[in-house]
Amino acid sequence: MMRRWFSVLILCVAMLIPAVGRAQQAAGKTLVLKAARMFDGKSNALVTPGLVVVIDGKIAGVGAGASIPAGAEVIDLGDATLLPGFIDAHTHETMMNSNDWKQRELDELQKTIGEQELDASANVRVTLMAGFTTVRDVGSHDFLDVGLRNAIRNGVVPGPRMIVAGYAIGSTGGHCDGSAGFREGLFGHETGPSEGVVNGADQAREAVRLMHKYGATVIKTCASGGVLSPTDDIDTPQLTQEELNAIVDEAHALRLRVATHCHGAEAAKRAIRAGVNSIEHGTFLDDEALTMMKDHGTYLVPTLMAVQGLQEQLDKGIYMPPAISIKAQMAIANIRKTFQKAMAKGVKIGLGTDAAVYPHGRNAEEFHQMVDLGMKPIDALKAGTSSDADLLGLSDKIGTLEANKLADVVAVPGDPSENIRQTEKVFFVMKEGVVYRNDRSAAAR
């Protein structure tokens, strides 16, 4: 036992040393980032040239008029575009993507919590290197997301800053009940509020308080059935109006925002009435629900990469339980139409991908998914920067390249407002003034 703990300690120290070194880069250091152009996260066009001055991990100035301190280190990225660090508002960093359905289910039962956390550390690293400096993780188990968030924050592992939910909150046998689909009694107890499974408004409040107690910084609910859950229909309401009211009231009292998994229109209407901050997926939203979202300022996070990932699995003939395969095809057939209707109505749209339904690290493909469906490239860039920052309540810290914001900066070759798929070619990543990636040779591609 002592040898095992000593081995874990050595591993942690080995991982910590390079991370601490990177953190020290930001302290007391002045960097000037230069590129051919820049998108500040909020304007309707790129500007030239691109210039960002970074001092002690924060942005000190941007644009041609910025004052460059004497002795500053200049990083010239050439024919590239500087952008705010990307934000993904819907991820599952502690969950693994797999081409083997049954093996993935078995892994979650057999792998130790420590092994699953180490697997997740690889997920956050590839996400950061893809240019995503902030993610919202909307549902984990055993508070793996909280531990991962803390490890990143403390410099133990590299990754994006994380907004975390702990367990997502839903009903017995619903999309957020992790024991659904397994035989009764297998886990030795019935799931309850401590695992996000509630029945009634009082238990709903208790679950919010428990998630907050153990480190959640956002509350995730499951208002409807889901695609990948084995025992429910995709569009059925799974929380009553009273339960949703209690969840949102308690969360907002604790100054936590609420993200709601929701495919069905009736479930969405209940969630919007309750005052949730975002509807995640929104596959079967009708005109009334979309109008309510517009009127209430509720965000839609469409997770188009989720259906892309499902389509790829179907195309490869990868096994899914038949009931889930049918639901996946229903989602694929409807979600893109709903996204277009939401755009036409002027609903606020944030970028979120449902990472883990597709392989981690491909998050930036969500940009082109939105553009392919009619969104202007500049608006897609806003969705993954300033709009997501607003949704997460972090507009004072991230989402735009402005003085006094955290120095989260990425660079891509060429002009992403002309070719949105340039966002998939990130070659420079800075988070809070620390350079995690700088492959300038990629700028010539």
- What does the block give as tokens for 7? 């081995």
Q: What local confidence, expressed as pLDDT, does residue 191 receive?
A: 87
Contact 106, 98 (CB under 8 A): no
Would the CA dihedral through 422, 426, 428, 431 be positive or negative? positive
> What CATH superfamily is the domain 2-84+400-444?
Urease, subunit C, domain 1 (2.30.40.10)
Q: What local confidence, expressed as pLDDT, does residue 5 receive?
A: 37
Contact 264, 284 (CB under 8 A): yes
Q: What local confidence, expressed as pLDDT, does residue 26 receive?
A: 62
Q: What local confidence, expressed as pLDDT, does residue 6 receive?
A: 34
Q: What local confidence, expressed as pLDDT, does residue 3 receive?
A: 38
Residues of the chain with CATH 3.20.20.140: 86-392
CATH code for the domain defined by 86-392: 3.20.20.140
Across 97-153, the runs of DSSP E, i.e. the strands, are: 132-137
Distance of CA 36 to the CA centre of its chain: 29
CA distances for 35 relative to 19, 71, 144, 376, 405, angstroms? 27, 19, 38, 23, 19
Task: For residue 9, give the 3-state DSSP assignment.
Answer: helix
Residues constituting the chain? 445
For residue 159, which of 169, 147, 151, 167 has the smallest C-alpha distance?
A: 151
Residues of the chain with CATH 2.30.40.10: 2-84+400-444
pLDDT in tens, the chain (445 residues): 333 333 333 344 444 444 444 544 666 689 999 999 999 999 999 999 999 999 999 999 999 889 889 889 999 999 999 999 999 999 999 999 888 878 888 888 889 999 999 999 999 999 999 999 999 999 999 999 999 999 999 999 999 999 999 999 999 988 898 878 878 887 888 888 999 999 999 999 999 999 999 999 999 999 999 988 888 889 999 999 999 999 999 999 999 999 999 999 999 999 999 999 999 999 999 999 999 999 999 999 999 999 999 999 999 998 888 988 998 999 999 999 999 999 999 999 999 999 999 999 999 999 999 999 999 999 999 999 999 999 999 999 999 999 999 999 999 999 999 999 999 999 999 999 999 999 985 444 4
- What does the block give as tokens for 304? 């188009």
CA distances for 373 relative to 53, 411, 422, angstroms? 36, 25, 17
Residue 31 corresponds to which amino acid?
Answer: L
- What does the block give as tokens for 214? 């153990």
Place of tokens 């030795």: 188
Contacts of 101 (CB under 8 A, 6+ apart): 318, 319, 320, 321
Q: What local confidence, expressed as pLDDT, does residue 21 receive?
A: 43
Residue 259: how many other CB atoms lie within 10 Å: 30
